[in-house]
Amino acid sequence: MMDETTQVREVRRIFNRVAPVYDLLNRILSLREDVRWRRFVARSLRLPVDGGRVLDVATGTGDLALAIAARPERPRVVGLDLVPAMLTPAARKARRAGAPLALLAGDALRLPFPDASFDAATIAFGIRNIPRRVEAMAEMGRVLKPGGRLHVLEFTTPRRPAVRRLYTRYLRHLLPRLGGLVSGDASSYQYLADTILRFPPPDEFRREMVAAGLVAPRSHSLTQGIAWVHVAEKPLTD
Ligand SMILES: C[S@@+](CC[C@H](N)C(=O)[O-])C[C@H]1O[C@@H](n2cnc3c(N)ncnc32)[C@H](O)[C@@H]1O
């Protein structure tokens, strides 16, 4: 097991390296399901009529931020990521889509925003890369307005034995090979597979959301329980 500093260094190394092929690999490795998952999250945000402000943490190449910005309520979306190289394709896609995304480099553990400044916060496939998950969710809670919701989209190993067996095989063998072939770095995809296998099941993750000071946690499974959306709220009063 790596210590925290080594994990963060590894995360920076991996995403710096895979940034140029990240989108392509996502589409191939998830058979395009990832597009549907992000749209589901974007649709399920309860946005105010004027669109409000949404923060997408660990925004990477910006696919979730862009799906949110395309909602008819026209929210103002800020995307933040630790690795500037991931934000380069995000900025390019935002320009192409004419989406007014604000993108900035930063750490989920120290968000550069005042308390209660966002109507909703999201993080897609990012929370499992952050060693101090509860602290990161508490920090996202800090910047949410009271009653605002945090939406976490993340992989989990499915529970049904047959699906679980197949999926584990895919993660251990096929993912690193395919990832290695396209990115030239199989070890990055081995690491990413390990983070999925180590990620807690939904009930345990919801307890972490509560430990982060959020309330009313619930989860929704997507594609046979491979991906989940976990939602919790900032309490209305302290
Ligand atoms: C698997 S990618 C997900 C990107 C994007 N959200 C998506 O749905 O495709 C994980 C991202 O988390 C970012 N990340 C990891 N640790 C972070 C941290 N402490 N703060 C902000 N971003 C972080 C990485 O740089 C990477 O871009």
Among the atoms of ligand 1, which is closest to the Cα of residue 11?
A: 15
pTM: 0.95
Instruction: Give the pLDDT mean for 21-50.
Output: 89
> Does residue 191 sit within a domain?
no
Question: Is 73 touching ligand 1 by the criterion CB < 6 Å?
Answer: no
Using most ligand atoms within 8 A of CB, pick from 15, 93, 111 the residue to mutate for ligand 1: 15
Is the model's pLDDT at 29 over the cut of 80? no
Residue 238, judged by CB atoms within 10 A of its CB (0-12, 13-18, 19+), counts as exposed
Of 59, 139, 228, the one to substitute when testing ligand 1's pocket (max ligand atoms within 8 A of C-beta) is 59
92 pLDDT more than 90 = yes
**In the chain, what percentage of residues exceed pLDDT 90?**
67
Confidence at 26, pLDDT banded by 50, 70, 90: confident
Biggest CA-to-CA distance, the chain: 51
Beta carbons within 8 Å of 121's beta carbon, 6+ residues apart: 54, 55, 56, 57, 140, 143, 144, 148, 149, 150, 151
- What is the tens place of the pLDDT at every residue in 10-21? 899 989 988 888
Here the CATH number for the domain that contains residue 82 is 3.40.50.150
For ligand 1, say whether the CB of 87 is within 6 Å of any of its atoms: no
Measured by CA distance, the residue closest to atom 26 of ligand 1 is 60
Q: What residue owns the CA closest to ligand 1's atom 8?
A: 124
Q: Is residue 184 part of a domain?
A: no
Partnered with residue 144 across adjacent β-strands are: 118
The total number of structural domains in the chain stands at: 1
Q: Give residue 22's pLDDT.
A: 83
Residue 113's domain spans which residues? 4-158+199-233
173 inside domain:
no
Is residue 100 one of the residues assigned to a domain?
yes
The CA-atom distances, in angstroms, between 22 and each of 15, 86, 87 are 8, 8, 11
> 1 falls in which pLDDT band (50, 70, 90)?
low
